[in-house]
Amino acid sequence: MADLNLLKKSMSDLDEDAVLEIMKEIMESGGDAQEALEACQEGLIEVGDRFESGEYFIGDLIFAGEVMTGAIEIIKPALSAGGLTGKGKMILCTVKDDLHDIGKNIVKNMLEASGFEVIDLGIDVPPKKIIETANTEGISIIALSGVLTLALDSMRDVVDAFADAGMRGNVKIIIGGNPVTEEACKIIGADEWAKSPRKTVDVCSAWVAG
């Protein structure tokens, strides 16, 4: 039987070979894919903690996201067959006029690992596309990412667009990225803000839980 504590430690230590090998063992032995996913998620949380403490750097976060993607690919068949209980759909994107996606992609991996079905609209996404997708897919959680300072204006445009469409009360909006602060969140009118992937996951999970 696979050692889930070792899996968690291997993920937090960024030991890609060990993570993928353990995941393969779980698949071959018919182990619990959901438990394996949770162990990986716990390891990712530790990676986030190490980043916040200064032990890890942005390159480590990127690599952790790649390792997580590889791990999920290995056990995806078992998750699908087992009917993984998810937290529902949500939208994630980098806002209009911003072409950065490193942070967005890391957050996407962690959200998916925690049970969300993430509709990733990509980069440079205008408010209209976000609203149309939210309306079509019945989305109630929107995560907006941005690295450039001008992204703050684009985030405000999204919030205002939802208000103009009479949909603001139907969605929760969280913003994240380098220029985002608590003050910016208040000015933009978002519901929450996050500097770390971990907080994004925690906030969105809490919204789903009610």
**Domains defined for the chain, CATH in brackets:** 4-81 (1.10.1240.10), 88-209 (3.40.50.280)
Q: What is the pLDDT of residue 110?
A: 76
Q: What is the pLDDT of residue 79?
A: 64
Q: What is the pLDDT of residue 54?
A: 92
Q: What is the pLDDT of residue 194?
A: 94
* Element of type H or E holding 75: helix 58-81
The 10s digit of each residue's pLDDT in 78-87 is: 765 554 557 8
Q: What amino acid occupies position 10? A: S
Q: What is the pLDDT of residue 1?
A: 58
Q: What is the pLDDT of residue 82?
A: 53
Q: Is the pTM of this model over 0.85?
A: no
Q: Do 144 and 120 meet the contact criterion of CB atoms below 8 Å apart?
A: no
The 10s digit of each residue's pLDDT in 153-206 is: 999 999 999 999 999 999 999 999 889 999 999 999 999 999 887 789 889 999
Q: Is 125 exposed, middle or buried (0-12, 13-18, 19+ CB in 10 A)?
A: buried
The 10s digit of each residue's pLDDT in 18-76 is: 999 999 998 898 888 878 887 887 888 888 889 879 999 888 988 988 898 888 888 87
Q: Do 174 and 200 meet the contact criterion of CB atoms below 8 Å apart?
A: yes
The 10s digit of each residue's pLDDT in 101-152 is: 877 887 887 788 778 999 999 999 999 999 999 999 999 999 999 989 999 9
Q: Which of 128-152 are b and which e, b meaning 16 or more Cβ less than 10 Å from the residue's Cβ?
A: ebbbebbeeeebbbbbbbbbbeebb
Where does the pLDDT of residue 210 fall: very low under 50, low under 70, confident under 90, or very high at 90 and above? Answer: confident
